[in-house]
Amino acid sequence: MVRRFDPGAPVSPELVRDLVRLAVRAPSAGFSQGWDFLALLDPADRARFWEATDDGTPPDAWTRGVSAAPALVLCLSDPDTYLERYAQPDKGWTDRSTDHWPVPYWDTDVAMAAMVMLLAAEDAGLGALFFGVPVERHDAVRAAHGIPDGRRIVGVVALGSEAERVAGSPRTRRRRPLDDVLHVGHFGAPGVSEQMRHPGS
pLDDT reported for residue 179: 87
In this prediction the pTM is 0.90
The helix (H) or strand (E) run that includes residue 79 is helix 79-85
**Is the C-alpha dihedral spanning 79, 24, 114, 64 positive or negative?**
negative
Residues 158 and 2: beta-carbon distance below 8 Å: yes
Predicted local distance difference test score (pLDDT) of residue 127: 96
Specify which residues 130 forms β-bridges with. 157
What tens-digit pLDDT sequence spans the chain (201 residues)?
Answer: 999 999 999 999 999 999 999 999 999 999 999 999 999 999 999 999 999 999 999 999 999 999 999 999 999 999 999 999 999 999 999 999 999 999 999 999 999 999 999 999 999 999 999 999 999 999 999 999 999 999 999 999 999 999 878 776 666 788 899 988 999 999 988 776 655 565 555
Residue 194 is predicted with a pLDDT of 55
Distance CA 67, CA 48 (A): 11
Assign 3-class secondary structure to 123-151.
Answer: HCCCEEEEECCCHHHHHHHHHHHCCCCCC
